[in-house]
Structure 1
Amino acid sequence: MLNITKTINQRKEMIISIFALSWPAVLEQALETTVQYVSSAMVGRLGAEASAAVGLTTTVTWLINSPAFAMDIGILSYISFCIGAKKLKKAKIAAVQSIIITIVLGLVMGIITLSISPFLPKWLGASPEIQKNASLYFGIICIPMLFRVAIIIFGAVLRATGDMKTPMKVNLIMNIINILLNCILIYGNQTISVGGLKIHTHGAGLGIVGSAIAGAVAYTISGLLMLFALYRNRLVSPKGEKIKLNMEVMGRCIKVGFPVTIEHVGTCLGQVVFSSIVTRLGTLAFAAHSIALTAEEAFYIPGFGMQSSASTLAGNALGEKNQEKLHQMSVTIIAMATIVMTITGTILFLFPSFIMSIFINNPLVIKSGASILRLVAVSEPLFGALIMLEGIFNGMGDTKTPVFVSIISMWGVRILSATVCIYKFHLGLKAVWICMICDNVFRFLLLFMRFLSGAWKKKFNL
């Protein structure tokens, strides 16, 4: 009886810890998605071509962010491990390395993206009428690449220390700036309808270019704020430290982050190829596809918000060499994410047409997008469990497993099946999204079997 009571109390404490770490990250994700909703809705009022032009480069944006997101996992894993093991000096050294990583990645990726922006829409197979706007939009939002990388990397450092609230606050400021500037820069003097709400605008009338400028300014201010927050953090502040390379610590971060870089690049290249396949279905179909992707993001906010908590807690448990804590945390957070995303998936299934109508008033695009949103809604609970499993493996530094699974699944399931559906059988957008769902199901099954086997414990002497 005492053991049962102890287990129940431990589980309650675990849930409280997960919630305390997760809610700021979930709210941060919600704020970020809200801005994407508002921006997409505003651009959508310019027409299907405008939505397609902005949506065309979305997957490429994921690709160029890949190295930063990969290194943020390496840094988060290492710092959370050091804090769990009470090695605070090494955690501070890792924070210094994060500044070096930010500068290098920011400058390199900025040069690359600005260089390819004039040619990218044509490479992706975009129709001629959207190529110019897509190129302008992509080029402008890539100008502050250094600050975009800073938001990602420094945010990971803060989360690794358990500070989830500061990145959330910075994100809130970024979103407010973005929305305000969107209102000023996108439209001229007119009345627009967003989700049934009439809004009177007085602005510059820059259209897609205005949306891009708004995003670029918001990224710049937020990157500076995140740097300021890093220097104020009591555990890992680089204040008083020399910004110099430490090969041992940098090597550990890269060892964890490099496989994730391969995964992100491999899967994001797959996303780019996947988008280029969808462009073959025409501008209206691609607009429906792009808007549906944006709409779906709101419904997996809890999953991605909780993922960083899963990584942080897994890294702490590994540093403490506490197998029981790691197991309890893993089972609990997977169950929590599955329950929450069952609820969000149900909402998505019941109201897909309304959700699509927030972004665009074209009835053909709304109908097409609603049908695929209803399809993907069914897989949301499983997707939540998948996100948690990836977070757990990444937090422990076992990044090779998600890498292998993601690349094999992306190219062997999603891309191959979508190519066959469109080029061989000439099927439509619904078939393409079924291929995407099959990719997520396959990834979940492989990671879940790996987790159940317990083989990964041997690698860490647990």
Structure 2
Amino acid sequence: MTKKAKTARNATLFALTWPIFIEILLHMLMGNADTLMLSQYSDDAVAAVGVSNQLLMVIIVMFGFIATGTSVLVAQHLGANQDEDAGRVATVSIIGNFIFGLFLSLLLFAAGPAILLMMGLPEELLKEATLYLQIVGGFSFIQSVLMTIGAVLRSHQFTKDVMYITIGMNILNVIGNYLFIFGPFGIPVLGVTGVAISTTISRTLGLIVIAFVLFYRLKGRLPFSFMRRSFPSYELKSLLKIGIPSAGEHLSYNGSQLVITFFIVMMGTEALTTKVYTQNIMMFILLFAIAIGQGTQIIIGHQVGAKKLDEAYERCIRSLKIAIAVSTSMAVIVYFSSRPLLSIFTNNEQIITAGATLLLLTIILEPGRAFNLVVINCLRAAGDVKFPVYLGILSMWGVSIPVAYFFGVHMGLGLVGVWIGFIADEWLRGLLMLWRWRQGHWREMSFVRRSKEDQLA
């Protein structure tokens, strides 16, 4: 074990979180760069890409089946000083998600257009949405490997490396968007197709670089050769035991979002565009809680692996308080800046007014969401992965969707009604997740301990 690896395991929350924060910020900027640049092209193009990205988010969650399991399991093994086991898990996860990614890419390329039709996408948006979905979705296996390698590096606490690569990807993406949307130097203006090509090229180059960094940082700790001797059933089973339930919560969320997007499509293209612009702004509030949650997950994974359970409990509570305070403060600031922020994307006064109202409701929404982003990550890191899924499915499909439909469609409140559904869902789940953490069932669920007992048995 290198000295760097040893000292990395004692990293503070801030040391882990700020690179994750920058990385997530840049990922969001990549999506916002697409939206902002396309808004200069047409509002319809923005709506088309927004709906396609809703489907792509479901695919990304599918990749999380393995990537999430990787993050938790590698962190716990490292905390328990089981470096060889951590290397085997990382190796299996990279190869496994590459194969899985290829399968889903082919499936999305073939079936994506049919899904867009099933969602009732307006005819004027269908062509551009299909082009974007087939290009970005057809190469989404690149994203599957990027996610997995990123999870391995973060679990080893090399969060800065992932951040630097994300910076490079964003720069390339913005340059590509500029070239294909505005057409300088005689380059053809490709609009949505150009944005899709730019996104795919930047991700491909990012994958090449992050693969190099992986082998440099973990030299000798990724035993690819062992997979030639036998099928890695134990490692794959261990990954899926954590990954499938964890990703199930995200999959349920994105599935419910697809249904709610269908409700919004019924409200018209203007409502759909308003949702896209507003949620792009909301993501800048959300990223603080996401970064804190992911940084806390790494620390708690190491602490649980090292059997420092009381320290893990206190770490979660402290992180939650920080996330709530920061998210609420940012939501207030964004609301008072809502009209100038929305004016960056559009000059449509109806969209700006509706978006400002939604950002006011976001002040209530974001503290509830902070509960989920932090506490669910803590439960997952400790091995308590099933409860968030069961509760998530119950709340998202039993609260968020019915409430959004009742107030948004039936009562005619439109997007305000949809946001009421979001608020009810996030607060209910968040408070119940905190109750689960305080109950302490996770103290008996350390995945590393259970794995070793299984091996002995």
**TM-score using structure 1 length:** 0.90
Partner deviation per Cα, 1:136-159 (whole Å, 9 max, x = no partner): 111111122221111111100111
Q: In structure 1, how many angstroms separate the alpha carbons of the residues matched to 2:12 and 2:343?
A: 38
Cα offset, 1:242, TM superposition: 4.2
- Whether 2:84 is the aligned partner of 1:89: answer yes
- Which residue identity is paired with 1:182? N
- Whether 2:294 is the aligned partner of 1:299: answer no
- Which residue identity is paired with 2:162? P
Q: Which residue of 2 aligns with 1:18?
A: 13
- Whether 2:357 is the aligned partner of 1:388: answer no
Q: Which residue of 2 aligns with 1:249?
A: 235
Q: Which residue of 2 aligns with 1:29?
A: 24
- Whether 2:439 is the aligned partner of 1:453: answer yes
Identify which of 97, 110, 114 aligns with 1:119: 114
Q: Which residue of 1 aligns with 2:424?
A: 438
Q: In structure 1, how many angstroms separate the alpha carbons of the residues matched to 2:131 and 2:224?
A: 41
Q: Which residue of 2 aligns with 1:288?
A: 274
Partner deviation per Cα, 1:113-158 (whole Å, 9 max, x = no partner): 1012322322111111111111111111112222111111110011
Partner deviation per Cα, 1:328-383 (whole Å, 9 max, x = no partner): 21122112212221221121121111221222222221221121112113332332
Where structure 1 has 5 or more consecutive residues not aligned to the other structure, the ranges are 1-13, 190-200
Q: Please list, as runs of the form range in 1=range in 2, the aligned pairs for 1:42-57 lying within 5 A after superposition.
A: 42-57=37-52
Cα offset, 1:412, TM superposition: 0.6
Q: Secondary structure at the match of 2:183?
A: coil
Cα offset, 1:216, TM superposition: 1.0
- Which residue identity is paired with 1:174? M
Q: Which residue of 1 aligns with 2:352?
A: 366
Identify which of 212, 215, 232 aligns with 2:216: 232
Partner deviation per Cα, 1:376-431 (whole Å, 9 max, x = no partner): 13332332232110110111121111111211111011111122234432331111
Identify which of 200, 210, 215 aligns with 2:199: 215
- In structure 2, the CA distance between the partners of 1:235 and 1:450, relative to structure 1 (3 Å rule), is farther
Q: In structure 1, how many angstroms separate the alpha carbons of the residues matched to 2:82 and 2:220?
A: 11
When the two structures are aligned, how many residues end up with a matched partner? 438
Cα offset, 1:17, TM superposition: 0.5
Partner deviation per Cα, 1:282-325 (whole Å, 9 max, x = no partner): 00011001111111111111111122211111111111111221
Q: Secondary structure at the match of 1:285?
A: helix
C-alpha contact (below 8 Å) 2:66/2:97 kept by paired residues: no
Q: Please list, as runs of the form range in 1=range in 2, the aligned pairs for 1:130-209 lying within 5 A after superposition.
A: 130-188=125-183, 203-209=187-193
C-alpha contact (below 8 Å) 1:48/1:362 kept by paired residues: no
Cα offset, 1:250, TM superposition: 1.6
Q: In structure 1, how many angstroms separate the alpha carbons of the residues matched to 2:41 and 2:47?
A: 11
- Whether 2:257 is the aligned partner of 1:271: answer yes
C-alpha contact (below 8 Å) 2:84/2:221 kept by paired residues: no
- In structure 2, the CA distance between the partners of 1:97 and 1:84, relative to structure 1 (3 Å rule), is same
- Which residue identity is paired with 2:90? A
Where structure 2 has 5 or more consecutive residues not aligned to the other structure, the ranges are 1-8, 451-457
Q: In structure 1, how many angstroms separate the alpha carbons of the residues matched to 2:304 and 2:123?
A: 53
Q: Please list, as runs of the form range in 1=range in 2, the aligned pairs for 1:273-422 lying within 5 A after superposition.
A: 273-422=259-408
- Which residue identity is paired with 1:47? S
C-alpha contact (below 8 Å) 1:166/1:229 kept by paired residues: yes
Q: Which residue of 2 aligns with 1:38?
A: 33
C-alpha contact (below 8 Å) 1:92/1:238 kept by paired residues: yes
Partner deviation per Cα, 1:181-226 (whole Å, 9 max, x = no partner): 000001236xxxxxxxxxxx97421111111111111111112222
- Which residue identity is paired with 1:424? H
Q: In structure 1, how many angstroms separate the alpha carbons of the residues matched to 2:137 and 2:341?
A: 29
Q: In structure 1, how many angstroms separate the alpha carbons of the residues matched to 2:274 and 2:10?
A: 38
Cα offset, 1:112, TM superposition: 0.9
Identify which of 95, 100, 122 aligns with 2:95: 100
Cα offset, 1:240, TM superposition: 6.3
Q: Which has the higher helix share?
A: 2
Larger mean CA deviation between 163-172 and 369-378 belongs to 369-378
Percent of residue pairs identical:
25
- Which residue identity is paired with 2:65? A
- Which residue identity is paired with 1:456? W
C-alpha contact (below 8 Å) 1:92/1:235 kept by paired residues: no
C-alpha contact (below 8 Å) 1:110/1:144 kept by paired residues: yes
C-alpha contact (below 8 Å) 2:76/2:302 kept by paired residues: yes
Q: In structure 2, how many angstroms separate the alpha carbons of the residues matched to 1:401 and 1:233?
A: 35
Partner deviation per Cα, 1:91-126 (whole Å, 9 max, x = no partner): 110111022222222111101110123223221111
- Which residue identity is paired with 1:187? F
Cα offset, 1:238, TM superposition: 2.1
Cα offset, 1:456, TM superposition: 2.8
Q: Secondary structure at the match of 2:31?
A: helix
C-alpha contact (below 8 Å) 1:353/1:370 kept by paired residues: yes
- In structure 2, the CA distance between the partners of 1:342 and 1:421, relative to structure 1 (3 Å rule), is closer
Larger mean CA deviation between 224-233 and 170-179 belongs to 224-233
